[in-house]
Amino acid sequence: MKNLAILISGRGSNMKSILRAIKSGEIDGIKNVLVISNRPNAPGLEIASKEFGIKTSIVLPDENGQTFDEKLIVELQRNDIFEHNSIICLAGYMRILSPEFVKIYKNKIINIHPSLLPSFKGLNAQKQALIAGVKVTGCTVHLVDDGIDTGPILLQKCVPVYDADTIDSLSARILVEEHEIYVKALKLLASNRLLLKDNKIIQI
């Protein structure tokens, strides 16, 4: 059984689909869940605590010199979230994790990104896809490494792009698939059915 931390900054719809899957028993192998936000007013915080009864914390920058990620590590470890017993999901978390943080939780952090990586890394992936004029885009769940949206790919799903699409319509179509593959990826990771070989993830 693993502990799970979900890091959010905003509305938390991916977090919600994960919490729903855990609650319904679709994902097993998860013991304790903690949701952390770097923004006190993130709507996802209330969803986690009120709708799901999940423990939440807010981690803010520190004026006394401790770096943000150091504070985050303290909060995670206070809640028994360590490399050997846990998974960390980034779900709309709008901060870049430091290399030190990534090293401490090596291969235990996963992220969802609204494009078919390695295309359209970084911010506004849906807008980048529309500008590039691609006919197909999608979403990717990947392990987090030191780069931005560069880690080994766990799962991907294609989504068509239509001529009439706006950023909103395309984002909404991608989001439906994000919710599905994030749950699937977490299920695989929680059940130890993945092997990392030559920077590629293989299902076993």
Question: Rounded to whole angstroms, how far apart are CA atoms 57 and 112?
Answer: 21
The answer to whether residue 12 forms part of the interface with ligand GRF (CB under 6 A) is: yes
**Does position 155 bind ligand GRF by CB under 6 A?**
no
Secondary structure class of 58 (helix, strand, coil): strand
Is 92 an interacting residue with respect to ligand GRF (CB under 6 A)?
yes
Q: Is 13 in the site for ligand GRF (CB under 6 A)?
A: yes
* 86: three-class secondary structure by DSSP: strand
Pick from 6, 34, 178, 181 the residue near ligand GRF by CB under 6 A: 178
Is 138 an interacting residue with respect to ligand GRF (CB under 6 A)? Answer: no
Q: Does 2 bind ligand GRF (CB under 6 A)?
A: no
- Please confirm, yes or no, whether 179 is among the known catalytic residues: no
Side chain identity at residue 124, one-letter code? N
CB of 38 to ligand GRF, least distance (A): 13
Give the number of other CB atoms < 10 A from CB of residue 157.
16
Widest pairwise Cα distance in the chain: 51
Q: Report the distance separating Cα 61 and Cα 161, nearest Å.
A: 39
Cα separations in angstroms, 141 against 39, 43, 84, 90, 155: 23, 23, 21, 10, 5
Out of 7, 34, 45, 91, name the contact with ligand GRF by CB under 6 A.
Answer: 91
Which CB sits closer to ligand GRF, 69 or 149?
A: 149
* Binding interface with ligand GRF (CB under 6 A): 10-14, 91-92, 112-114, 175, 178
Q: Give the residue numbers annotated as catalytic, written as ranges.
A: 113
